[in-house]
Structure 1
Amino acid sequence: MNLKSICFYFTMITAFASCDSQPTSDFTSTNSTSTIKIMNLVPGHFHAGLIHKNMYPEVDSTISVFARQGPELADYLNRIAGYNTRSDDPTGWKLDVNLSEDPLEAMIKSKPGNVMVVAGKNDEKIDYILEAIKQGIHVYADKPLVINQEGFTKLEEAFSLAEQNDLLLFDIMTERYEITSILQKRLSQVEAIFGIQEKGTTENPGISKQSVHHFFKYVSGKPLVRPAWFFDSQVEGDGLVDVTTHLVDLIQWTLFPEENLQFEDVEMHSARRWPTPLSAEQFFTVTGEKLVGDQLTPNCNGDMHYSLRGVHAKVSVIWEFQAPEGAGDTHYSIMRGSKANLRIMQGEAEGYVPQLFVELLDNQAEALENLIETEFQDDFPGLGFEIVNSKTYKLVIPESYRNGHEAQFGQVTDQFLEYFSKGQLPQWEKDFIRVKYYTTTLASEMAQAK
């Protein structure tokens, strides 16, 4: 199917797209107030579409898409069409779709925008990022940026070039915008309540984070279709370098907010990975493709024990096929302080909704109640508490703060746009990204060496 054919097909199916037979040769905005025009390169993961669930005044309404023909592109186009045609607050994105067997070369040749978005195969992502930076293009990328130490070396080169040429290189860390993580971080900064962060041991870490994910789930109200390569650890990455990225980021962000971390702050103690068996029937359910053989065993699970500036941390990621009825992906976390433990729970007892519990180790119940009822009301109006027992409080969080994973893509995009308006990332953000991927790739190397 040639470019004109795909444009006709896309227009008929979605009734909103604008495809040109020739790509634009120079960056020119069709919105008088926009300063950013996005080029979406090989959108192969559903996250590529989620950042477009909202419109942004600073962003041109035309997205230039460079991709190969196939089901992944079709999924992306259908997702944007769904946002454009929804009854509640529809978006107004227009797409300039450019088909090519070498989408990167086609993007570089025409260069119709100034920001590249990339969310797809993780093994090739860093090559796209590095080439975009070399061509003077800002990068806004889905995690993980790299999945091995070879990729990490390229990431270091990309950051060096970005620094020299005043370019932004930023990854999409949505979990910073989850309300229980925000409140856990804030309470850990109140010494009268939390005390001092315990350093812990490998057996009893000072901070732990675990997430459970599912191969089969719903996104934007529809069953998620995953590409077959998602289950190839050489392409997607193993359980220590993919979703784990979010948890390592949260540990840095919570323990040492806006501080300049360095590689020497990390000491890796142990790391392991293991598979979740997937039957041929389950594989077909989530991909729509037939499996060669009876079973697939991707190394999608992983845990690591490491220290960050002396604080022992444990990170675990577990993949299951499907969540129990009424459940979804879940998060567990504990921060241990000298005066209190801050525990996030999202199990059956919590109705699979993340809840934050404050377990008091000192006589500070009155101080906690006063903090929630006074100071915290400035930033979190309506926040309350429930006394579980004499030592444990549950924070009562208004539903308006629970915006969900999909909405968080809009929030992190707003953050990227703010950094773009300032012309640079803060140094701590750059350090966080570099140290984060140093940590995950170091853990993966250790696990593979066993």
Structure 2
Amino acid sequence: MFKCKAALLILAAFLFQNCDSPSESMDEAKEKAPIQIVTLDPGHFHAGLIHKSMYPEVDSTIHVYAPEGEELRDYLNRIAGYNEREEDPTAWNIEVYTGDDFLQEMIKEKAGNVMVVAGKNDRKIDYILSALENGMNVYADKPLVINPAGFQKLKRAFEIAEEKNLLFYDIMTERFEISTILQRELSMIPEVFGTLEQGTLEDPAITKESVHHFFKYVSGAPLVRPEWFFDTEVEGSGLVDVTTHLVDLVQWESFPGEALDTSDVTMLQAELLPTSLNYEQYQLVTGKTPSFSEGETLDVLANGEMNYTLKGVHAKVSVKWAYQAPEGTADTHYSIMRGTKANLIIRQGEEENYKPILYVKLLENQETALQKAINEDLQSAYPGISLTKLDNGEFRVEVPDSYSVGHEAHFAQVTENYLKFFKAGKMPDWEVPNMIVKYYTTTQAYEKAQ
């Protein structure tokens, strides 16, 4: 095991050395900022993305507890890149503890009051329970759980958080995508949207579909994924990972500000399908020699689709994974909300230059109401948005480039939201029940697919 305290412990060759610099006492740190982050076992690059920005409320020292290895090295190098960039560099200080007892040491030292965890999903809920039981708030990457057994632990975790008055929250970046925000806003204007349809199994009232790729670039560099990412017993299957975001958006848009219950969910259909990686593809995306032979493939159950009802409203959620996007293309997203007066459609294809764009298809002659909503009602919150009428009769919602900050920047937005909750000492009343319903939905889909 190893422990070192200094201003910065990010070395190109990852050579840990003993340091003589005295550490700042916890009392001194708390006087500077009310929030001290502890990062546990950062196995996913999302753990680093949280620190792409700095926050006045957060102490600049990050206490990291993790096993030695490539995942920790990647995390430290990512933060080093943020600290060393020319434009708006961060100034994070890192204190690292490595060893097989990293979890026990985190609990013993209690060097911070908020644990951040993003990594192996099969053990994440156990990390969360340990932190909560020992009085630490939790800010966790999705998914919190990947199967029904994990869901039972999750319910207990929320009970502990309530008993100890702790803030336990998952990172829902997609709520900060402007096209989704405006889809939600317009759905709440009856003069434009009417009310949400009930839909049917064949024609759901709300649909969320996304296509992702194993090989991609993050912060300008090729993303090397850990081997466990392709083990669905550790990462989770296509019904419980990215679908977490889409199920969250179904709830957030269909029943805004409303607390839901697991009894509101009826899972109708769910299926899992594989994406196959050949020898060369696996080697490129992991940087490792595959355990299977050339000419063979690894079939990853990464693709999932679920059809369910939420308070009687039919919803469809599907996620597909390919190895790599064709040149000139990218990840895509499609969504539709069907109202009695209009359909609100998000497309992210070639015509949109692979940026999510919101379209409005009016079903009645309410163009005046739509113009008023965009040009008057929503201008104070989203200045600069406008409408373009297309030849097919649909309206495209035009959004200034300043709103399109990208997926990585959404992590800072979610974190700022969490910090607001932290300072207020509470979250909206609907957040916790709806997190429970969200993971009930994904794990019910997983069980249905079996």
TM-score, normalisation: structure 2: 0.95
Out of 417, 428, 431, the position equivalent to 1:429 is 431
CA distance in 2, matches of 1:234, 1:395: 41
Does the 8 Å CA contact 2:7/2:93 hold for their aligned counterparts? no
Quickly say closer, same or farther: Cα 1:414–1:11, change in 2 above 3 A. closer
Secondary structure of 1:427's match? coil
Does the 8 Å CA contact 1:33/1:57 hold for their aligned counterparts? no
Shift of residue 109 of structure 1? 1.2
The residue aligned with 2:374 is 372
Q: Which amino acid counterpart does residue 403 of structure 1 have in structure 2?
A: V
Shift of residue 384 of structure 1? 1.1
The residue aligned with 1:408 is 410
Shift of residue 29 of structure 1? 4.5
Counterpart mapping for 1:37-436 below 5 A:
37-293=36-292, 294-389=296-391, 391-436=393-438
Q: Which amino acid counterpart does residue 200 of structure 1 have in structure 2?
A: G
Quickly say closer, same or farther: Cα 1:102–1:420, change in 2 above 3 A. same
Q: Which amino acid counterpart does residue 71 of structure 1 have in structure 2?
A: E
CA distance in 1, matches of 2:434, 2:421: 15
CA distance in 2, matches of 1:446, 1:190: 36
Q: Which amino acid counterpart does residue 318 of structure 1 have in structure 2?
A: K
Does the 8 Å CA contact 1:40/1:117 hold for their aligned counterparts? yes
Shift of residue 425 of structure 1? 2.1
Q: Which amino acid counterpart does residue 74 of structure 2 have in structure 1?
A: D
Secondary structure of 2:122's match? helix
Quickly say closer, same or farther: Cα 1:137–1:24, change in 2 above 3 A. farther
Q: Which amino acid counterpart does residue 43 of structure 2 have in structure 1?
A: G
Q: CA RMSD in A?
A: 2.1
Shift of residue 390 of structure 1? 6.0
Quickly say closer, same or farther: Cα 1:194–1:131, change in 2 above 3 A. same
Q: Which amino acid counterpart does residue 88 of structure 1 have in structure 2?
A: E
Shift of residue 377 of structure 1? 1.3
CA distance in 1, matches of 2:86, 2:24: 35
Quickly say closer, same or farther: Cα 1:173–1:29, change in 2 above 3 A. farther
Shift of residue 423 of structure 1? 1.1
Quickly say closer, same or farther: Cα 1:157–1:353, change in 2 above 3 A. same
Q: Which amino acid counterpart does residue 85 of structure 2 have in structure 1?
A: R
What do residues 70-101 of structure 1 show as CA deviations (whole Å, max 9, x unaligned)?
00001000000000000010000000010111
Structure 1 stretch 385-394 or stretch 232-241: which is displaced more?
385-394
What do residues 172-225 of structure 1 show as CA deviations (whole Å, max 9, x unaligned)?
000000000000000000111111110100000000000111000000000001
Quickly say closer, same or farther: Cα 1:270–1:23, change in 2 above 3 A. farther
What do residues 103-122 of structure 1 show as CA deviations (whole Å, max 9, x unaligned)?
21110111111110000000
CA distance in 1, matches of 2:59, 2:7: 23
CA distance in 1, matches of 2:13, 2:38: 20
CA distance in 2, matches of 1:93, 1:381: 34
Does the 8 Å CA contact 1:195/1:339 hold for their aligned counterparts? yes
CA distance in 2, matches of 1:20, 1:297: 46
Shift of residue 18 of structure 1? 11
Q: Which amino acid counterpart does residue 238 of structure 1 have in structure 2?
A: S
Quickly say closer, same or farther: Cα 1:318–1:29, change in 2 above 3 A. farther
What do residues 34-92 of structure 1 show as CA deviations (whole Å, max 9, x unaligned)?
10100000000000000000111110000000011100001000000000000010000
Shift of residue 258 of structure 1? 1.4
Quickly say closer, same or farther: Cα 1:236–1:391, change in 2 above 3 A. same
Secondary structure of 1:378's match? coil
Does the 8 Å CA contact 1:140/1:169 hold for their aligned counterparts? yes
Secondary structure of 2:410's match? helix
Shift of residue 33 of structure 1? 3.7
Shift of residue 30 of structure 1? 2.9
Shift of residue 19 of structure 1? 7.9
Shift of residue 20 of structure 1? 5.6
Shift of residue 13 of structure 1? 3.2
CA distance in 2, matches of 1:213, 1:58: 34
Secondary structure of 1:274's match? strand
The residue aligned with 1:446 is 448
Quickly say closer, same or farther: Cα 1:442–1:24, change in 2 above 3 A. farther
Does the 8 Å CA contact 1:24/1:112 hold for their aligned counterparts? no
Structure 1 unaligned blocks of 5 or more: none
CA distance in 2, matches of 1:108, 1:334: 45
Shift of residue 10 of structure 1? 4.0
Does the 8 Å CA contact 2:196/2:205 hold for their aligned counterparts? yes
What do residues 233-274 of structure 1 show as CA deviations (whole Å, max 9, x unaligned)?
000000000000000000000011111100111010010001
What do residues 130-166 of structure 1 show as CA deviations (whole Å, max 9, x unaligned)?
1111000000000000001111111111100110110
Shift of residue 387 of structure 1? 0.7
TM-score, normalisation: structure 1: 0.95
What do residues 322-375 of structure 1 show as CA deviations (whole Å, max 9, x unaligned)?
112233221100000011100000011211111110001100112212221222
Structure 2 unaligned blocks of 5 or more: none
Does the 8 Å CA contact 1:25/1:111 hold for their aligned counterparts? no
Secondary structure of 1:374's match? helix
Shift of residue 32 of structure 1? 3.8
CA distance in 2, matches of 1:233, 1:11: 31
Does the 8 Å CA contact 1:180/1:344 hold for their aligned counterparts? yes
